[in-house]
Amino acid sequence: MGIQDIIEGKKQWRAHMARVKALPRDYEIVYKEIQRYFFKVGPVGLADGSLLSGILDFFEEGVAAGKGVLELIGNDVAAFCDDLVKDSRTYADIYQESISGEPGTAEK
């Protein structure tokens, strides 16, 4: 990854976060909780940015439709996140495997 790629990535991230800040406050709070959850235990492929961008698009559509954020995702943010990544390998899986010493034991 060259310096130009890093600069471009930062520009994209800043633009993404500007969109987040433009959301109504309740949406912004829930988005940041989702983001925090995914950064902690989220899918290994999170770095490509499509998951968080997709959630942001979904939230912007909800705002445009006049819906509250909890109407879109339900009352349990963690359950919403888990459902989105239920078929993906997560950092939590990797951690569980590292402490158990056996690959693939995270499902047990």
| DSSP tag of 3 | H
The pLDDT of residue 79: 94
Residue 104: per-residue pLDDT: 58
Q: Which residues contact 94 (CB under 8 A, 6 or more apart)?
A: 44, 106
* For residues 13-21, average pLDDT: 94
Higher pLDDT, 96 or 61: 61
Encode pLDDT of 28-65 as tens digits: 999 999 999 888 877 877 767 788 899 999 999 999 99
Query: What CATH topology corresponds to 3-100?
Result: c-terminal domain of poly(a) binding protein (1.10.1900)
* Amino acid occupying residue 15: A
pLDDT at 50: 84
Provide the residue ranges of all domains of the chain, joining segments of one domain with +.
3-100
> Average pLDDT, whole number, for the chain?
87
